[in-house]
Amino acid sequence: MIDPAGPHAAAVARLWWVMLGGSALLAALVFALLTVAMRRREAPDAHTPKARVWIVWLGLIMPSTVLAVLLGYALVLGGRILPTPAPDGVAIGVEARRYDWAFRHPGLGGTRNVLHMPANRPVDLRITSTDVIHSVWVPRLAGKMDAIPGHTNTLRLVASRPGTYRGECAEYCGPGHKDHGFTVVVHDARGWAAFTGAAR
């Protein structure tokens, strides 16, 4: 997750680092306040102006502000990585089941447990399930998206470079969950043309 191979995964990794920084800041403040409180010898009077400043500003307003900023950043970032119409996009159907994956490339047929996609082009996965809730996750390419029976969700993947990546089911789905993974093969332009030509 922190070694992204595409812009959407990079956005998720950036969000992760920002959230880590925000939580570290809040934790440091809490520990500092705890240290100050433990060093005080006299019992504090909660009705003094100084105590109210500590309680209201440092106990309520400052954490609320930090959390609001982090939430705003997450919402803006999330909006940027949502699937939007793309003229050069590729749509691939994904059907999860215990305990394998079926990928349907329109006009090209299907593959089992191996997802083929082009590099540097948006790929929209249309995800559903045949039995229980699963979750598609390719950590180096994007965040997670649930596969729900009777419902279709869409996840946008973009890979910056060709290669082979690991995909996982990120939702516990039964005793075979630990082996419920798949392989993502990202092709360069020539490799994608060869794959689509051979699959026709």
Among the residue ranges 92-96, 105-109, 118-122, the one predicted with the least confidence is 105-109
Q: Starting at the edge strand that comes first in sequence, how are the strands of the sheet with 123-129 ordered?
A: 109-112, 100-105, 90-97, 123-129, 153-157
Residue 79 has pLDDT above 90, yes or no: no
Q: Which residues of 13-45 are buried (b: 16+ CB within 10 A; e: fewer)?
A: bebeeeeeebeeeeeeeeeeeeeeeeeeeeeee
Q: For residue 126, list its beta bridge partners.
A: 93, 154
Rounded distance between C-alpha atoms, residue 6 and residue 157, angstroms = 8
d(CA 184, CA 165): 5
The share of the chain scoring above pLDDT 90, in percent, equals 44
User: Which of 2, 74, 62, 73 has its CA nearest to residue 28?
Assistant: 62
Of residues 173 and 29, more confidence is placed in 173
| Domain range summary for the chain, segments of one domain joined by + | 7-80, 90-199
In the structure, what pLDDT confidence band is assigned to residue 104 with cuts at 50, 70 and 90?
Answer: very high
| pLDDT number for residue 119 | 94
**133: confidence class by pLDDT, cuts 50, 70, 90:** very high
Give the domain 90-199 fold: Immunoglobulin-like (2.60.40)
Between CA 124 and CA 106 the distance in angstroms is: 12
The mean of the pLDDT values for the chain is: 85
Looking only at the bridges linking them, the beta strands covering 100-105 and 90-97 are antiparallel
> Across residues 146-151, what is the average pLDDT?
95
Label residue 38 by pLDDT band (50, 70, 90): confident
Burial state string for 161-192 with b = 16 or more CB within 10 A and e = fewer than 16: ebeebebbbbbebeeebeebebebbbbeeeeb
CA torsion 171→9→155→161, rounded to 10°? -120
